[in-house]
Amino acid sequence: MQRVPGPRTPQRAGASARERFERRDSRDGVSAPFIYALLLGLAAFFFVLALSTRQVTEEEPALDLLRSGIATLTDIDVWIAEYADDVRELGASSDEARVPLPGYPLDVTLTRQEAVQLTDAELRATVLEQSARMVYRSGLEPFDRTGNQSLGIFSGEGLLETLVGQISETTYNRANIATMVFGGLVVVLAAAAAVRGEGYGRMGTVGWGALAGAFPGVLVMVGARYLSGIGGSDPFSEDVRTMIQHVVGVPLRNYVVVSFFGLVLAGSAMVLALLGRRVDALRLAPREELAFVEAPVIGGRSRSVRDDFEDWDDFDDD
């Protein structure tokens, strides 16, 4: 009896190449795909954070937030009730082109016509619009006329003041730069993972990296929303809570989207790789079994079962 070796199939050669690639990319037990996924996750986390900050501080949504925050900080409804009549009197008696607002913490001015003719609701809207644009351009500097104002970040007023102060054109410009930098890093690391990877592992590395960066962001933002709900139920606390939840909602949404994207990529890579291995196993098993069947030596030449099958095929054709 003689064992007749079968030909080496391309599938087995491919499997050996993958094994060599995995051994080559392993360094002290840490694989290159893991390192790429980790770096990609860090870049993705900061990219989403920078992008979310950019979206929040863009001019139109920022002005909406600032109008709400300034209305709470200045208690403008109380100011309107107390000073609206004084503003109209100043407008009627002043010879200046612009009329200052008595008792208001920002250097907002009105034309004499506005001071005299605006209703309370119109006066409120005009003052808030000018205040929001002033703070958006200059931060909290217009609020601090003495240079010594400090409410403390751990008070409700201090927290709102800090939040309002960060919604500015300066923050938008910085976030815009950070978005481009971290976005470029994400692209470079994803491309590097695709080049160094093989097969469906490329897609898996990108997916796990996106998930590793975005899912912690989801947890952080959910925690921030929860903490913002702790506190009093007075109108001021409600206003602060609403503003914080609105700001936090933007990165939370973005992190959820990226997490879902990463989960889909990683899950698809796992499923496709599993299906590929099953198909390869089904394709290779019969050939290997037939290639190594022991066959008797007939007429001085060994015959394999595969030869017999070919003879049977010829017989059938006849």
In this prediction the pTM is 0.71
- In sequence order, what are the residues at sequence separation of 6 or more whose Cβ sits closer than 8 angstroms to the Cβ of residue 51? 175, 179, 183, 254
Can you name the residues that pair with 298 across neighbouring β-strands?
Answer: 301
103: left (phi over 0), alpha (psi -120 to 50) or beta: left
Amino acid 240: pLDDT: 79
**How many angstroms separate the Cα of 89 from the Cα of each of 109, 113, 119?**
14, 11, 13
Name the DSSP letter for residue 168.
S
Token digits for 205? 């590395």
Rounded CA gap, 155 and 168, in Å?
Answer: 21
Tell me how far apart the alpha carbons of residues 179 and 115 are, in angstroms, rounded to a whole number. Answer: 43
> Under a CB-based contact definition with an 8 Å cutoff, are residues 208 and 39 in contact?
no
pLDDT digits (tens, 9 = 90+) for 166-178: 898 999 999 999 9
- Mind listing the pLDDT tens digit for each residue in 221-271? 999 888 877 666 667 777 778 888 889 999 999 999 999 999 998 888 888
pLDDT band at residue 33, thresholds of 50, 70 and 90? confident
Do residues 67 and 128 lie in contact, with contact meaning Cβ atoms separated by under 8 Å?
Answer: yes
How many CB atoms sit inside 10 A of residue 22's CB?
14
3-state SS assignment for residue 302: strand
Residue 21 clears pLDDT 70, i.e. is over it: no
Whole-angstrom distance, CA of residue 166 vs CA of residue 220:
19
What DSSP assignment string belongs to 40-100? HHHHHHHHHHHHHHHHHHSHHHHHHHHHHHHHHHHTHHHHHHHHHHHHHHHHHH--SSEEE
